Amino acid sequence: CPELIQSGAILTCSKGEVAGPSLAEHAMALLLAISRNVAVMVKAGSWNKKICQERGAIELMGMTMGIVGFGGSGQLLARMALGFQMKVIALGRTARASTIEGVDSVWGRERLDELLELSDVVAICAPGTADTRHMFDAAAFKKMKTSAILVNIGRGDIVSDEALIHALQKGEIAGAGLDVLEQEPPPEDSPLWQMNNVVLTAHTAGSSPNRNERNRKTFAENFGRFM
């Protein structure tokens, strides 16, 4: 919106406050669908314990979640992960103190590789910018644990679809829960549709019947402060 940019008006954003709760819940839903084999059982369409026994369930307690992007949704997701007794490490644009009890500090972007190496779950909650585009490329996936799960409720172009598919096919990571993709929707012949270790949702993580009310409440409170 060039007119806004040229107007000199100050732009603020509270998207993390109004959409954050549904985004964080959706991230946990994607993770649990993979870790507890919910998705593969639904796909099977039958009472088949053998599928779960062959794949093995994953217990989140004691695991480390690395959260990339620590705004409203990232902070809410951290609280949920801590509730599952996971350890949480967080990454922002720059290093800063953390306001979330249980998260020691927020690391700067320069420590991304360290976060990837340490995390059992990597959750992307970052905005889509020139700096974050293809942050997750072939080199990034090679730094992750082969047992790691990727969850993306941020922006699709943060992850290279091609690099992600390759990493999943080659076993460089164990699975992915994706609400956003670089190409939406993915092509009908995309391997992602057939992978049992992948859960896809159609960019719906921000949907909530409570979102508009939070928008109105936030605007009214801020307008009162302005006046």
What's CA 18's distance to the chain center, in Å? 17
Least confident segment among 34-38, 55-59, 112-116, 149-153: 55-59
Q: Which residues are within 8 A (CB) of 42 and not within 5 positions of it... i.e. 6 or more apart?
A: none
The proportion of the chain whose per-residue pLDDT surpasses 70, expressed as a percent, equals 100
Q: Is 173 helix (H, G, I), strand (E, B) or coil?
A: coil
Range with top average pLDDT, 4-13, 86-95, 207-216: 86-95
Q: One-letter amino acid identity for 159?
A: V
Strand partners, 66: 89, 122
* Band of pLDDT at residue 5, cut at 50, 70 and 90: confident
Can you tell me the distance from the alpha carbon of 200 to that of 144, in angstroms, rounded to the nearest whole number?
A: 21
Residue 148 has a pLDDT of 97
Residue 29 CB contacts under 8 Å (≥ 6 apart), including other chains: none
Helix, strand, coil shares of the chain, percent, nearest 5, are 45, 15, 40
Question: Distance between CA 194 and CA 162 in Å, rounded?
Answer: 15
pLDDT score at 107: 97
Residue 54 predicted with pLDDT over 80: no
* Whole-number average pLDDT of the chain: 93
Q: Please give the positions annotated as active site.
A: 155, 184, 203
Q: What is the mean pLDDT of residues 48-55?
A: 78
What pLDDT is stored for residue 120 in this prediction?
Answer: 98
Q: How many residues does the chain have?
A: 227
- Between CA 176 and CA 127 the distance in angstroms is 19
Burial of 87 (0-12, 13-18, 19+ CB in 10 A): middle
List, in sequence order, every residue forming a beta bridge with 69; answer none if it has no partner: none
For 123-186, the DSSP string reads EE-----TTTTTSB-HHHHHHS-TT-EEEE-S-GGGB-HHHHHHHHHTTSSSEEEES--SSSSP
pLDDT tens per residue across span 89-133: 999 999 999 999 999 999 999 999 999 999 999 999 999 999 999
Q: Has residue 83 got a pLDDT over 90?
A: yes
**CA neighbor of 87 nearest in space, from 66, 69, 64:** 64
Question: How far out from the chain centre does Cα 209 lie?
Answer: 21
pLDDT band at 11 (very low <50, low <70, confident <90, very high): confident
